[in-house]
Structure 1
Amino acid sequence: MDDAEVIRFRSKIVAGPGPADCWIWTGAIGDDGYGRFWTPTPDGGQRMIRAHRYALALVTGSLGDLDEFHVCHMCDNPICVRAEDSATSHLYAGTAFENMADRAARGHHNQQPAAMFFRHETKQHRAHAARVLREHVRAHGYDPEAVATLLRGVTVGQQTLF
Structure 2
Amino acid sequence: MSDENTRFWSKVVKGPDPSDCWIWTGAIGDDGYGRFWTTPATGEQKMIRAHRYALALIHGGLEAIDTDEACHLCDNPICVRAESGEGAHVYLGTRESNMAERASRGRHNRQPAAEFFRHQSPAERGRRSRALRDLIRDQGYDREAIKAMMLGLARGQGTLF
Identify the TM-score tier after normalising by the shorter chain.
0.7 to 0.9
Secondary structure of the structure 2 residue equivalent to 1:57: helix
Offset at residue 59 of structure 1 (A) = 1.0
Offset at residue 11 of structure 1 (A) = 0.2
Secondary structure of the structure 1 residue equivalent to 2:117: coil
Q: Quick check: 1:156 aligned with 2:154?
A: yes
Offset at residue 67 of structure 1 (A) = 1.2
Residue 61 of structure 1 aligns with an amino acid whose one-letter code is G
| CA gap 1:62/1:68 in 2 versus in 1, 3 angstroms | same
TM-score by length of 2: 0.86
Whether the aligned pair in 2 keeps the contact of 1:73 and 1:91 (CA below 8 Å) is yes
Provide the residue aligned with 1:137 in structure 2.
Answer: 136
Secondary structure of the structure 1 residue equivalent to 2:129: helix
Provide the residue aligned with 1:22 in structure 2.
Answer: 21
Offset at residue 133 of structure 1 (A) = 0.1
Provide the residue aligned with 1:112 in structure 2.
Answer: none
Offset at residue 155 of structure 1 (A) = 4.1
Q: Structure 2: state its 5+ residue gaps.
A: 108-113
Percent same amino acid among aligned pairs? 55
TM-score by length of 1: 0.85
Provide the residue aligned with 1:56 in structure 2.
Answer: 55
Whether the aligned pair in 2 keeps the contact of 1:22 and 1:81 (CA below 8 Å) is yes
Aligned Cα root-mean-square deviation (Å): 2.2
Give the paired residue count: 152
Whether the aligned pair in 2 keeps the contact of 1:129 and 1:153 (CA below 8 Å) is no
Whether the aligned pair in 2 keeps the contact of 1:116 and 1:153 (CA below 8 Å) is no
Q: Structure 1: state its 5+ residue gaps.
A: 109-114
Offset at residue 104 of structure 1 (A) = 2.0
